[in-house]
Amino acid sequence: MKLKNTLKASTAAALVLIGTAVYAESHSATHPVTGEALAAEQMFTYSTIDEIPSIDPGLVEDVEGSAVVRDLFEGLLNQDSDGNPIPGVATGYEVSDDMLTYTFTLRDNAVWSDGSPVTAGDFVYAWQRAANPETASPYSWYIELMSIENAAAVIAGEKPITDLGVTAIDDKTLEVRITQPLPYFPQMVTHGTTFPVPQHVVEEFGNDWITPEHFVGNGAYVLTERVLQERLVREKSETYWDKDNVIMDKVVMLVINDSTQALTRWQAGEIDKTAQGLPPGQYPSLVAEYPTEAIAVPSLCSYYYNMNMRDTAPEWAKDARVRQALSLAIDRDIIVEDVLSAGQFPAYTFTPGATAGFEVPTVEAAGMTQAERNEKAKALLAEAGYGSDNPISLEILYNTSESHKSIAIAVSQMWKQTLGVETTLANMEWQTFLEERGNGNFDVSRAGWCGDYNEASTFLDLMNSSSGYNDAGYNNAEVDALLAEAKTLEDPSANYTKIEEIISVDVPIIPIYHYTENFMLNDAVKGWPFDNVQQNWYSRELYKVAE
Amino acid sequence: MLSFIARRFAVAIPTILVLIVISFILMFAAPGGPFNAERPLPPQVLANIEAKYGLDQPYWKQIVDYVWNVVAHFDFGPSFKYKDRSVNDIIAQGFPVTLTYGFWSFVVAVIVGVTLGVFAAIRHNTWIDYLAVGISIGAQSLPNFVMAPMLVIVFTLWLGWLPGGGWNGGQVQYLVLPVIALSTSYMASIARITRSSMLEVLNSGFIRTARAKGLSDTRIILRHALKPAMLPVLSYLGPAFVLMVTGSVIVDSYFSTGGIGVYFVNAAFNRDYSVMMGITILMGALTILFNLIVDLLYAWIDPKIRY
Amino acid sequence: MFSRTTADQLMDVASSQAIKGRSLWHDAFRRFIRNRAALISLFLLGFVLIFAFFGQYLSSHEPDFVDFSLRRDIKNLGVPSIENGHFFGLEQEGRDLYTRVVQGTRISILVGVIGSLVAVVVGTLYGAFAGYMGGRIDSVMMRIVDILIAIPFMFVIILLLVVFGRSMVMLFVGVGLISWLDMARIARGQTLTIKNKEFVEAAVATGVKPFTVILRHIVPNLAGIVIVYATLLIPQLIITESFISFLGLGIQEPMTSLGALISGGASQLGFGTPWMIGFPLFFFLITLYAFFFVGDGLRDALDPKDR
């Protein structure tokens, strides 16, 4: 039996529909599907906080860079506005019975922007290049994560790159061999690291191939300008196979380091969309002023404080009652409503409630009022033998940033006002902070974690005593056992609930809130994929309506 | 004079070498590294990256290789952060930007500052003096991280006259706000140094003699007082010019100009050693060059000066 | 000819009357208290100092206390008010701005004054020595300054933090390390011309030792420019402090400084809470004015040529 590809037929049909409704007068006044009146100038300008490390598919490592790569190149599959895989360069694929071999069929009309056809060989070259130790891509581990045959050995330089489990059967057929069945494998090839690169151009120009002068891509856009730390401009490609359905003509990315400055320029109409992260506390007044344009959507991230659980920690930190008291005394509602106020969710568990298949356990604290929590916190602290005659003083370590500072100030005051705990704040520049936190030189340290995939283990694995990200130094054999067992279970959700319950008693970490993505988006811009949990957007699906 | 210049150039080379070595030691000693991240890279991936950039070599070898590449090939290496760019690319792209807005800031600061300072001095303790001093202190009390957002709110958001940032190849409208933000505090310093130095010169014997001879004010100031009064201003202008043309992290990050000023902070935060070294060497070379120029100007102003 | 104020005329009268028999310092003191602007500034400085060191006794609030009932709507509930005792309103974290400005002014004055004292002492002596000795010694000493200007200062701060931990002392070390460099350049530049003056040559001819020449004849003649530059350094150092604290060395929350308050206020520009930037900036400004006029009065009073 062969599994037929699982792409959503409806979306594909819709695409065909648009294709036939072609759009001959290149800028007809209305959108071919929705019938909205389109703006005369189709240009989308957005800001990012930092310059992108690389827009080379083989080297790309960050969210903003991936968005650019998705515009300039096209992989085997794309995502639709809900995040499901749909055809890209591949029109479809077949999976072998053992789920270990994928065969992708490439479309005939896919071409590079210099006119040469996109072949299966370009994919083979790109994947080998990404895994090649000489390329030294910071994302080479992604090839290994995809479980491609021999990936680890190739990355380690133990086998030649030609041993990588990817082969061009012919120009239009690509075979991929993986070492274990991965139900989400199709989803993985929508990521930039798997996108093709033009071998003939890369070999001719080396590192410079990705500059506007030499650029050749196969995406809906071509790179026309790149000024580091200032702007990156991409314009509609005339060679893209589906160019007739691309409405947005020009996309400009501006690097604006300061979120307040970006907001001012958005208000002045200079940019259509600001980078993720509005100035802390400003969201409510922005919503009042721009109800449809100030956006906040939940994201799979948690903000928390690590308690130092190492032997080297101060005496009070070793008492679970003290840690519980500290956790209880934090009024999360004030943090999310008054300090951050962009729709964040108060956190009493590490795993966000929005996580698929995760049932939020009924940890006791979540069901209490803050007054009850404060009472209990005081009682616990007294029971542990601390109070005005034996006060605790501690330090919160965080990396320099306005919002981390705001939260730390509020928390320190809650501890002081409720528990009489004296808190000093210690900020450090990022790299020093990482080193100090990693070495356990702190009492309490700030941390944030975003899920890599939509499942609770992506969070709870951090509580494993052997996890490299377990900065609290938490070590509980029962948690380790539950985590190990969860890997083998059909439905591990009971284990996850149990772990959260243990954490709420041991308090190696104090969950504070679950993030939202918040930004400003001009009303005239349509087609933003709000329903895509990863917020993977494609410029070719955006369009501007006439105002 | 020529042998003096030649000597100074000869000294410049060991000076820059010492600068390189000290900077490397500081960077290696500081915690963190270019490829440290909140989520550490898998060991094998990290090893590949370190091998590619030579970070697996002993420290002394990294320094020697670096110096060799700079001297033999004028190659400042690849950026560790911006992986598809080299340090040469980054400086070639960003330095013209800061050079442009820095140069104009310098021109504005010198013209306005010297004028204010001279007027304040010749009308010492009158309202003109107080006004000039008031302006210069007012300008200094607005650090550029206050100036920059204020300028954008006023000129971009309220008046809509000027773009709130960007560079676009350096068109005039993109230049105005960075120049204002960068030049004000330098202008204030120049005004105050000029004023004080001018006061001293005006009180000195030879000006009193000139006055006694009945020469006109303007003549005295332009022909006799201005030149000697510029000496301490020059000492200030040498390093100030270098600081201005290498840009400001505040100007670059608030106005998104794409200049190299932003790397003085970002490259350090990112532990992008090669970019950090590139701009450090640039900064060192410019400092040495402009201090040489200042020394030559001293000799021109006061021919008695011997080095 | 030159318009002169009564104060100046009086000073001239005073100085001509006191031709002999009085020390330079006594003379300077008389001049100083006769300078109206300087005197006013002395009162201004006194006011700032009293505010900075005793201002907290006027308020019933603590500088680190967050009033969570007001914090939910600072824009409306946090406006300056006499009734609830938040004279300057609340800052962006919901704390009393008045007591924080008091605390910040105190700390920033300390940073500014100590930093510029280091600059005055170290910078002046270093620069005067280099300039006076000339030749190879001058060349080496000035190249050392060039190197120190160009090395990545951020790594120095980070290393100080990692090695010694954070403390006020380390903050002063950090500030002191950079503050004297420009001063040294300026002092050296002036020395180059002063050492050719007759009175210096006369002293040398009579066999006075170099150190004595520098201390007796060179340094007093540098006083004018040194004082001006020291008052220019104060605002620079106050702002530098906020950057150093940003890196983790120095003032940490809940303590504050004027630089931190100004940058906090600047981050709220345009959000309808102008008092957050206004009050800190106002105290920054009057502190600068006070120091300037005191400096200027001193400069006038000490100017040896005006004797």
pLDDT digits (tens, 9 = 90+) for A364-401: 888 889 999 999 999 999 999 998 888 999 999 999 88
pTM of the model: 0.86
- Out of B41, B44, B93, the one facing A227 most closely (by C-beta) is B93
- Looking at the complex, report in whole angstroms how far the Cα of residue B22 sits from the nearest Cα belonging to chain C: 7
pLDDT digits (tens, 9 = 90+) for A405-455: 999 999 999 999 999 999 999 999 888 999 899 889 999 999 998 877 777
The per-residue pLDDT for C303 is 63
- State the Cα–Cα distance between residues C83 and C89, nearest whole angstrom: 11
- Out of A228, A267, A468, the one facing B94 most closely (by C-beta) is A228
pLDDT digits (tens, 9 = 90+) for C204-262: 888 888 888 888 888 888 888 888 889 889 888 998 888 888 888 888 888 899 999 99
pLDDT digits (tens, 9 = 90+) for A178-209: 998 887 788 889 999 999 999 999 999 988 89
Assess C210–A contact: CB distance below 8 Å, yes or no. Answer: no
- State the Cα–Cα distance between residues C53 and C76, nearest whole angstrom: 30
C-alpha closest to that of C123 among C201, C175, C200: C175
* Residue B280 or C304, more confident: B280
Q: Judge: A431–B33 Cβ closer than 8 Å, yes or no.
A: yes
Assess B116–C contact: CB distance below 8 Å, yes or no. Answer: no
Assess A134–B contact: CB distance below 8 Å, yes or no. Answer: yes
CB pairs under 8 A between A and B: 137
- Res. C279: pLDDT tops 70: yes
Query: In chain A, which residues have their Cβ closer than 8 Å to the Cβ of B86?
Result: 207
Contacts of B58 by beta carbon, 8 Å cutoff, 6+ apart = none
The per-residue pLDDT for C254 is 86
Query: In chain B, which residues have their Cβ closer than 8 Å to the Cβ of C281?
Result: 141-142, 146
C-alpha closest to that of A469 among A459, A484, A455, A482: A459
Judged by DSSP in three states, C91 sits in coil
- Nearest chain C residue (CA) to B158: C270
Mutate to test the interface with C, among B125, B135, B266 (most CBs of C within 10 A): B125
Strands A77-79 and A173-177: unpaired
The per-residue pLDDT for A28 is 54
The per-residue pLDDT for C50 is 92
Assess C64–A contact: CB distance below 8 Å, yes or no. Answer: yes
Q: List the structure tokens of C253.
A: 């929350």
Q: What is the ipTM of this complex?
A: 0.87
The per-residue pLDDT for A193 is 92
Q: Are A487 and A503 in contact (CB under 8 A)?
A: no
- As to burial, measured by CB atoms within 10 angstroms (0-12 exposed, 13-18 middle, 19+ buried), residue C26 is exposed
The per-residue pLDDT for A239 is 94
Question: First vs last Cα of chain A: how many Å apart?
Answer: 53
- Out of C3, C154, C182, the one facing B268 most closely (by C-beta) is C154
- Res. C180: pLDDT tops 70: yes
Backbone angles phi, psi at A302, to 5 degrees: -125, 140
The per-residue pLDDT for C296 is 78
- Nearest chain B residue (CA) to C131: B307
For residues A212-221, average pLDDT: 94
Q: List the structure tokens of B171.
A: 């068109």
Q: Which of residues 49-78 of A touch B (CB under 8 A)?
A: 51-56, 59
- State the Cα–Cα distance between residues A248 and A266, nearest whole angstrom: 19
Dihedral sign computed on CA atoms, order A241, A246, A249, A250: negative
pLDDT digits (tens, 9 = 90+) for A524-537: 999 999 887 778 89
Mutate to test the interface with A, among C61, C62, C67, C68 (most CBs of A within 10 A): C68
- State the Cα–Cα distance between residues B197 and A64, nearest whole angstrom: 53
Q: Judge: C37–B304 Cβ closer than 8 Å, yes or no.
A: no
Q: Judge: C189–B298 Cβ closer than 8 Å, yes or no.
A: yes
Q: Judge: C252–A427 Cβ closer than 8 Å, yes or no.
A: yes
Q: Which of residues 432-451 of A touch B (CB under 8 A)?
A: 432, 434-436
Mean pLDDT of chain A: 88
The per-residue pLDDT for A395 is 93
Assess B200–C contact: CB distance below 8 Å, yes or no. Answer: yes
The Cα-based distances of A535 to A10, A67, A191, A231 in angstroms read: 21, 10, 13, 22
Q: Using N-to-C axis directions, what is the helix angle for B144-151 and B172-202, rounded to 10°?
A: 140
Question: First vs last Cα of chain C: how many Å apart?
Answer: 20
- State the Cα–Cα distance between residues A364 and A505, nearest whole angstrom: 10
Q: Are A403 and A356 in contact (CB under 8 A)?
A: no
The per-residue pLDDT for C22 is 54
Q: Are B181 and B251 in contact (CB under 8 A)?
A: yes
Mutate to test the interface with B, among A257, A304, A450 (most CBs of B within 10 A): A257
- Res. A13: pLDDT tops 60: no
- Out of B31, B204, B284, the one facing C150 most closely (by C-beta) is B284
Q: Judge: B30–A210 Cβ closer than 8 Å, yes or no.
A: no
The per-residue pLDDT for C166 is 83
- State the Cα–Cα distance between residues C176 and C167, nearest whole angstrom: 14
| AA letter at C11 | M
* Residue B22 or C34, more confident: B22
C-alpha closest to that of B270 among B18, B83, B6: B83
The per-residue pLDDT for C165 is 84
Q: List the structure tokens of B296.
A: 């030559």
Cβ neighbours around A528 below 10 Å, total: 16
For residues C275-293, average pLDDT: 90
Q: How confident is the model at residue A510 (pLDDT cuts 50, 70, 90)?
A: very high
C-alpha closest to that of A263 among B142, B254, B161, B174: B254
* Residue B215 or A150, more confident: A150
Query: In chain B, which residues have their Cβ closer than 8 Å to the Cβ of C192?
Result: 298, 302, 305
Q: Are C90 and C101 in contact (CB under 8 A)?
A: no
CA triplet A502, A507, A510: central angle to 5 degrees? 125
Q: How confident is the model at residue C301 (pLDDT cuts 50, 70, 90)?
A: confident
- Res. C24: pLDDT tops 70: no
- State the Cα–Cα distance between residues B69 and B88, nearest whole angstrom: 12
- Out of C156, C186, C259, the one facing B235 most closely (by C-beta) is C186
Q: Are B98 and B261 in contact (CB under 8 A)?
A: yes
Q: Tell me which H or E stretch contains B243.
A: helix B226-245
- Nearest chain A residue (CA) to B167: A230
pLDDT in tens, chain B (307 residues): 788 888 888 889 999 999 999 999 999 998 888 888 877 888 888 899 999 888 899 999 999 999 999 989 899 999 988 988 899 999 999 999 999 999 999 999 999 999 999 989 888 878 888 899 889 888 888 888 899 999 999 999 999 899 988 888 888 899 999 999 999 999 999 999 999 888 888 877 777 777 777 777 777 777 778 888 888 899 899 889 999 999 888 899 889 898 999 998 889 888 999 999 999 999 999 999 999 999 999 888 888 877 7
CB pairs under 8 A between A and C: 74
pLDDT digits (tens, 9 = 90+) for A17-64: 444 444 444 455 788 888 888 898 999 999 999 899 999 999 998 889
Q: Judge: B280–C152 Cβ closer than 8 Å, yes or no.
A: yes
Query: In chain B, which residues have their Cβ closer than 8 Å to the Cβ of A254?
Result: 165-166, 256
Q: Are A471 and A399 in contact (CB under 8 A)?
A: no
The per-residue pLDDT for A215 is 94
Mutate to test the interface with B, among C34, C146, C198, C236 (most CBs of B within 10 A): C146
Q: Judge: B238–C185 Cβ closer than 8 Å, yes or no.
A: yes
- Nearest chain C residue (CA) to A285: C271
- Res. A362: pLDDT tops 70: yes
- Res. A456: pLDDT tops 90: no
Q: Are C151 and B22 in contact (CB under 8 A)?
A: yes
- Res. C10: pLDDT tops 60: no
